Structure 1
Amino acid sequence: MLRRGLIWAIVLLPAMIAGGLLLLIASAVLVIHITGDAEAFSRTAVSVQTLARDVYERQRAIWQAQIGCIEFDEVLFYKPRPGKCVFDNIEYSTVLTFDTHGFRQTSFPEWRGDDSPTRGRIVVLGDSQAMGWGVQDEETFGSILAKEYGFEVFNLAVASYGTARELLRLRKEFDLRKGDVVVIQYHPNDLRENLAFLKSGKLPARAPSDLARLAHTPQSYGVLQVSASIAFILKGKLMNTLFGDTGGEVASGKNQAEIFLDVIDHFPELAQARLVVCEVASFGEATAFAKDLKRLTEGRMSVLNPAWESSDFYRLDDHLNAKGHRRLANVIAATILSD
């Protein structure tokens, strides 16, 4: 019986491994197909769409990993380098322009004969969503607020910044005035950096050599590369199932809105401005942040909760597309102008 068991093991084990590899390759071929075919993607099961998005997230280019687009800052770690920065991925090909301060361009003289803003100043803070990851300069919600509503807009948002770093940049690089409107775009992944800031009132010290940690090489969509990504993703999901999420997130006993307000309290200069807060999560996924923030602030700031549509975001990339930026610009303008 032992000999028979060994024979079956010798026969079955290679067959199982071969079957697993074939399934992995077949999955990679399917992911490659629906990645390049929007109609096929829409007809595919949600679980396969999620896998395709997970693969894309591993394969894509990362804006802040492009050393020519950023420069070191001793307080902020990195910030945009003034000038133009080419940033491409499967669903878009863009050129991001940053002025001499490293703010995303929002003003274009050719738009109107009278180049003077008429409705006051808006300062945009946020991460990649507000910076305009995946859209052209004139397509960001900041640019639309400038062009179509007559505001003077300063876009200080930077990819991967949390609320604390956004406000540190505001304090360090912008002269806030009484009556300014400060728009803060929030994402759930701001939490970790906000918690780290609240521990010491500052961000971890960095050196120029630390920029190398941002290095990331986009991967091609070959069958082997995609198969490797799928294997890595499935391994991670299995580990999380067996041992729980080991992402290292710090438990604080507070919800994200409470932590956000704790960060805000470290910046008393905001008292002279009107605050408008809007969560833009990946693909517009709803969280409790806006509801909690409204309850906690009781009208002390404007909390926006746009009714996102799937067409406001890219199919694979979790960022707002041009349509989504326009929706957000209209919601912000309506809020500011209603008072």
Structure 2
Amino acid sequence: MDELGIIWQGMLNSGPLDLAVLIGIPIGLGVTGVLLRHRTRETFGTGIKASVASKDFILEAVVISAVAGAFIVIGLWPNLLNPISPALGKLVESMRDRVQLNAADSRKLIRGYYEDLGDVTRFNNELWTLYGMKPHNVESLQSTAQTRQRNDSIGVEFVPSTVETFAGATRTINSLGLRDREYPLVPGPNTFRIALVGSSNDMGWGVNDNETYENLVEDRLNHEIGLQTGKKFEILNFSVHAYRPTQKLATIEQRVFAARPNIILYAASTEEFNFMFKSVRSLADKQLLEQFPFIADAIERANINAKRLPNEVVLQMKLGPFAEESLRALLERFRDGALSRGIHPVLLILELPRDNRLRGEVFDRLVDLGEATNLTTLDLQGAFAAVRDRRSLWVLPWDDHINAEGHRLLADRLYSLLLSEVLVPSNASIKQDNPFRR
């Protein structure tokens, strides 16, 4: 049913030309078949000259060969369809270079990581293959000695000063409760501080401490820019796996502001809209919905009783149409809170290995949200452009979180954008720690 819903939604969102092409191809093949259905198989005794029958057969063979050749050419160069239908070109390329599950199975796979839904291998052969490779003794991803629950809108946090092997990599939590190096709560003199707030890939799921993209960028800033400016650069990583948008906002308001950063990077992935309302049930159970008026408003407009929420599938389906405007309200609140403290708010759009090689619509929607909310936007899409096999960027064959090589590629792009957008001081003549600080 999920797949049928996706197809129907795709047709509703397609333009007239796209629909004409999609419907016209099977109709055209059918018409061709009708026109050529009378091919003469036996000519002896029929009164039909052999030359005529031969010509009919040759014509049919030419047409079939041409159609088959056209499909081969389009399969090799899908961009040839772009002048006719860009959407169809993207569809063909995604089918040819398919390195991720379809949207529905991808969501089930993601839920399997965080919600322990059971045997996800029942969905399709690809999931069966991925999970068939999974070792039985892999540590539980649901509970770890490094995390603990909070009775607030943040929900979960790391236990300070702990070290653990998690998802096959060493994960060190510092004294501030961050998966990061040691930092004082308040930045020292001549220090330019950046705070990063994201989810599992930003936290560095499955890679070692010094392999995360934020640590790689910090090292490069200090090595290349710090030597020129005499400044010390710090990037504090407040990310925690499975953080939803409301948890990121709560972390910014309750933890990040106290660290007095110059810049805050709100990291959003292509799942941001899908995850917008994933924390609703937890917030309702804790009676914290009033902390997020845009969430409460969406619940009311969806005709949902906040005291008696429906099952999760129905809840997400009813709230889904309000995801974009709710995320916009969240980003506006993030922006206003940061600017009022003299901090530069930035929307960081992360690319994931499971994202399609062609730029998906969701990236443009996130960029548009950044522009609509007057946020500086750093779009990392394209960081993996040179990688043909995007599965080579997975942590494990059954785990599509970003591996060390993927983090290196993201770090290269983020570093370039920080400099090109003039977000960090790049010469010694800059005397202010932060032009946004009032």
Q: Deviations over 1:248-294 (max 9, x none)?
A: 52334647554422221233213332303113446334642221122
> When the two structures are superposed, what TM-score results if normalisation uses the length of structure 2?
0.48
1:71 positional shift: 1.6
Residues in 2 aligned to 1:273 and 1:177: alpha-carbon distance in whole angstroms:
14
Conserved? CA contact 1:179–1:274, under 8 Å: no
Aligned alpha-carbon RMSD (Å): 3.5
* Match among 359, 367, 379 for residue 304 of structure 1: 379
1:48 positional shift: 4.6
Aligned residues: 244
SS of residue in 1 equivalent to 2:354: helix
Q: Which of 1 and 2 has greater Rg?
A: 2
Name the residue aligned to 1:278: 349
Deviates more, 1:133-142 or 1:246-255: 246-255
Does residue 100 (structure 1) correspond to residue 175 (structure 2)? The answer is yes
SS of residue in 1 equivalent to 2:400: coil
Residues in 2 aligned to 1:306 and 1:322: alpha-carbon distance in whole angstroms:
17
Q: Deviations over 1:26-63 (max 9, x none)?
A: xxxxxxxxxxxxxxxxxxxxx75443224567965444
Q: Deviations over 1:212-238 (max 9, x none)?
A: xxxxxxxxxxxxxxxxxxxxxxxxxxx
Name the residue aligned to 2:368: 295
Name the residue aligned to 1:318: 400
Does residue 262 (structure 1) correspond to residue 329 (structure 2)? The answer is yes
Q: Kindly tell me: are residues 62 and 117 of structure 1, through their superposed partners in 2, closer, same or farther at Cα, counting changes over 3 Å?
A: farther
Conserved? CA contact 1:82–1:97, under 8 Å: no
Amino acid at match of 1:313: W
Q: Structure 1 unaligned segments of length 5 or more: list them.
A: 1-46, 109-114, 208-244
Name the residue aligned to 1:158: 240
Amino acid at match of 1:329: A
Conserved? CA contact 2:195–2:263, under 8 Å: yes
1:82 positional shift: 1.2
> When the two structures are superposed, what TM-score results if normalisation uses the length of structure 1?
0.61
Residues in 2 aligned to 1:246 and 1:175: alpha-carbon distance in whole angstroms:
35
Q: Kindly tell me: are residues 86 and 290 of structure 1, through their superposed partners in 2, closer, same or farther at Cα, counting changes over 3 Å?
A: same
Residues in 2 aligned to 1:293 and 1:248: alpha-carbon distance in whole angstroms:
23
Does residue 84 (structure 1) correspond to residue 162 (structure 2)? The answer is yes
- Taking only the aligned residue pairs, the percentage that are identical comes to 18
Does residue 65 (structure 1) correspond to residue 143 (structure 2)? The answer is yes
Deviates more, 1:68-77 or 1:129-138: 68-77
Residues in 1 aligned to 2:355 and 2:257: alpha-carbon distance in whole angstroms:
32
Q: Kindly tell me: are residues 192 and 126 of structure 1, through their superposed partners in 2, closer, same or farther at Cα, counting changes over 3 Å?
A: same
Alignment of 1:163-312 (within 5 A): 163-175=245-257, 180-191=262-273, 194-195=276-277, 203-206=283-286, 246=313, 248-252=315-319, 254=321, 257-267=324-334, 268-271=336-339, 272-281=343-352, 283-285=354-356, 287-298=360-371, 300-307=375-382, 308=384, 309=387, 310=390, 311-312=392-393
Q: Kindly tell me: are residues 263 and 332 of structure 1, through their superposed partners in 2, closer, same or farther at Cα, counting changes over 3 Å?
A: same
Q: Kindly tell me: are residues 305 and 147 of structure 1, through their superposed partners in 2, closer, same or farther at Cα, counting changes over 3 Å?
A: closer
Residues in 2 aligned to 1:188 and 1:87: alpha-carbon distance in whole angstroms:
28
* Match among 215, 223, 237 for residue 143 of structure 1: 215
